[in-house]
Amino acid sequence: MLIVGINGSPNKEGNVACLLRVALEAAGSRGSATQAIYVMDVLAGQEKPYCDACSSPCDKSCFEGTPLSDAFDLLRRADGLILASPVYFGTVSAQLKAFWDKTRFMRTENALVGKPGGAIAVGASRFGGQETTLKTLHDMMLIQGISVVGDGSLDFDAGHQGACGQKPVSEDKNAIKRAKILGVRLVEELRKMAGS
């Protein structure tokens, strides 16, 4: 079992990374292997870090043989995903959007269909656009056929739509609790799917 977290923040060790690490550690504590992708690293060196639909279907020529190609191979191998982003003007970061737009070839392959996925958003204030950002993350996953994991139950609540944090997240006990639950929920979903 492999859960891959995608850090869509331009800050490699910031608030998003902190919450994503909490979720991945919780998944790891339940027996899942985990790995993180930092989109700024895999987009580095791209002549065009954004998709302009230069071919249809996508011929992958803009990223073959680059770290971006390796990241997409990791997504293919993943059993579950966590997309994590800071809130920028009520939505995801440009870096995460650029990375995800280049996954359009995966839709043709149905590479992510049926995999469970969760979302994490971090804003500068308590009501700083986290839920609209989560909604965008959900839409991004749904278009790929990913099964979105959100709310659990009253006693096991990952947040209605995902884990929302307020910076500094290291002091946001609610966000840390929800991120842990999200990691555990993904493992539970994978176990259900495997029938164990």
21-44 residue pLDDT tens = 999 999 999 999 999 999 999 999
- pLDDT value at residue 53: 82
- pLDDT value at residue 48: 84
Alpha carbons 174 and 14: distance in angstroms, whole number: 18
Nearest alpha-carbon partner for 39 in 92, 2, 111: 92
Which has the higher per-residue pLDDT, 133 or 160? 133
**Omega of the bond leading into 168 within 30 degrees of 0 (cis):** yes
2-194 has which fold? Rossmann fold (3.40.50)
Average pLDDT over residues 68-74: 95
- pLDDT value at residue 80: 98
Average pLDDT over residues 73-79: 97
Average pLDDT over residues 168-191: 93
Helix segments in the chain, DSSP class H: 15-29, 39-43, 67-77, 94-101, 104-109, 130-143, 173-194
Average pLDDT over residues 91-111: 95
Output the pTM of the full model: 0.93
pLDDT surpasses 60 at 164: yes
Q: Give phi and psi for 60, each to the nearest 5.
A: 65, 10
Confidence band for 137, pLDDT divided at 50, 70 and 90: very high
Mean pLDDT value across the chain: 92
Alpha carbons 119 and 162: distance in angstroms, whole number: 5
Residues 6+ apart with CB under 8 A from 17: 7, 9, 11, 36, 38
Nearest alpha-carbon partner for 100 in 37, 33, 20: 37
Confidence band for 196, pLDDT divided at 50, 70 and 90: low
- pLDDT value at residue 61: 83
pLDDT surpasses 90 at 56: no
Which has the higher per-residue pLDDT, 93 or 56? 93
- pLDDT value at residue 159: 60
Asked whether the beta carbons of 148 and 117 are under 8 A apart, the reply is yes
pLDDT surpasses 90 at 55: no
pLDDT surpasses 70 at 130: yes
